[in-house]
C-alpha cells in the first residue's frame, strides 16, 4: 500500500484523534501538492438536502455533508458518472470535483442526473504545505486507496469502521477500538 498522500487517496483518522472535526473520519484528498492539500470528510452527513441549503437550487434529494472546518460558508460537490460537467476536475477515473453550478442545475432540472451520483459539502478540510506529512509522522492518519463505491457509500456512519476492517487484520483491530476506552 502506498502511504503517501496524493489526489484521490483517502485519509483515515486514527481511533484516538480527538479533534471533533476529524474524529473517526474518512477524508478524500482532492488536491495535494507543494501549496498544501484540500479534501472532504466523506462520513459526516448533515440533516439537509441541497435544495434546502440553497434557495434557488432545484429540488434534488441529495444530502449535504460536512466537508470540513475551512470556509464553512462555501459549497462544493463531487459526482460520479460519464456526464462531465464543464469546469470539473477528475480525481480518480469516473469521479469529479466541482464544475459549473448553472450546468449542474440544468442537468438536475432535465432529470439527466441522479441524487445518488452526487455528494455536496459545506466547507472543506485544508492543510498548509507539509502539514499532512507532519500529522502522518504523529500517526494521526492512515493513507489508503479508495473506490467510488466507498465514496458514495449508502451508510456513511459505518464508512470509517468498514474501511479499516477491509484493510486487513492490523487495521481491523483499530476499527474495534472503543471511542472512549476509559468507560470500557
pLDDT recorded at residue 3 = 78
pLDDT recorded at residue 56 = 86
Query: How far is residue 150's CA from residue 90's CA, in Å, rounded to a whole number?
Result: 17
Phi and psi, residue 86, nearest 5°: -50, 135
pLDDT recorded at residue 65 = 98
CA nearest to 57, candidates 97, 100, 108, 99: 108
Any bridge partners for residue 49, and if so which?
Answer: 63
3-state secondary structure of 172: helix
Domain architecture of the chain: domains with CATH: 9-175 (3.40.1740.10)
pLDDT recorded at residue 55 = 85
Phi and psi, residue 36, nearest 5°: 125, -160
Are the C-beta atoms of 100 and 86 separated by less than 8 Å?
A: yes
pTM confidence score: 0.92
Give the helix, strand, coil percentages of the chain, each rounded to 5.
Answer: 25, 30, 40
Query: How far is residue 9's CA from residue 3's CA, in Å, rounded to a whole number?
Result: 9
pLDDT recorded at residue 77 = 97
pLDDT recorded at residue 180 = 63
Pairing assessment for the beta strands 36-41 and 45-49 based on DSSP bridges: unpaired
Q: What is the pLDDT along the chain (184 residues), one digit of tens a residue?
A: 557 999 999 999 998 888 999 999 999 999 999 999 999 999 999 999 999 998 888 999 999 999 999 998 899 999 998 878 999 999 999 999 999 999 999 999 999 999 999 999 999 999 999 999 999 999 999 999 999 999 999 999 999 999 999 988 888 888 777 666 666 5
Burial group, residue 52, by CB count within 10 angstroms (0-12, 13-18, 19+):
middle
pLDDT recorded at residue 182 = 62
Amino acid at each position: 500500500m502506498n502511504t503517501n498522500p496524493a489526489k484521490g487517496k483517502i485519509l483515515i483518522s486514527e481511533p484516538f484523534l480527538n479533534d471533533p472535526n476529524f474524529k473517526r473520519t474518512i477524508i478524500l484528498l482532492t488536491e495535494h501538492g507543494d501549496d498544501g492539500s484540500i479534501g472532504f470528510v466523506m462520513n459526516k452527513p448533515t440533516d439537509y438536502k441541497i435544495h434546502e441549503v440553497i434557495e434557488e437550487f432545484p429540488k434534488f434529494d441529495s444530502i449535504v455533508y460536512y466537508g470540513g472546518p475551512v470556509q464553512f460558508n462555501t459549497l462544493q460537490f463531487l459526482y460520479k458518472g460519464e456526464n462531465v460537467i464543464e469546469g470539473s476536475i477528475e480525481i480518480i477515473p469516473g469521479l469529479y470535483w466541482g464544475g459549473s453550478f448553472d450546468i449542474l442545475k440544468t442537468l438536475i432540472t432535465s432529470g439527466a442526473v441522479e441524487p445518488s451520483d452526487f455528494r455536496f459539502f459545506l466547507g472543506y478540510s485544508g492543510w498548509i504545505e507539509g502539514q499532512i506529512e507532519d500529522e502522518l509522522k504523529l500517526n494521526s492518519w492512515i493513507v489508503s486507496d479508495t473506490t467510488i463505491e466507498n465514496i458514495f457509500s449508502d451508510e456513511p456512519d459505518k464508512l470509517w469502521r468498514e474501511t479499516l476492517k477491509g484493510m486487513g487484520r492490523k487495521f481491523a483491530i483499530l476499527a474495534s477500538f472503543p471511542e472512549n476506552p476509559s468507560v470500557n
